[in-house]
A and B are shown apart, each in its own frame.
Chain A
Amino acid sequence: EILMTQSPATLSVSPGERATLSCRANETVGSTVVWYQQKPGQAPRLLIYGATNRAAGVPTRFGGSGSGTEFTLTISSLQSEDFAVYYCQQYSKWPRTFGPGTKVDIK
Chain B
Amino acid sequence: EVQLVESGGGLAQPGRSLTLSCAASGFRFDDYAMHWVRQVPGKGLEWVAGINWNSGSIGYADSVKGRFTISRDNAKNSLYLQMNSLRVEDTASYYCAKEGLVVVPGHYFYYFDVWGKGTTVTVSS
Contacts and interface: CB of A to CB of B under 8 A. Distances in A.
Given A32-B110, A49-B109, A50-B109, A44 B47 contact: no
Which range holds the interface residue count of chain B?
Answer: 20 to 34
Contact of A95 (B47, B95, B113): B47
Interface in A35-78: 36, 38, 43-46, 49-50, 53, 55
B110 A55 contact: no
B95 A49 contact: no
Nearest to A38: B45
Contacts of A53: 102, 109
Given A50-B107, A96-B47, 8 more contacts: A34-B111, A44-B112, A46-B113, A49-B102, A49-B110, A85-B44, A87-B44, A96-B35
Interface of B: 35, 37, 44-47, 50, 59-62, 95, 100, 102, 107, 109-113, 115-118
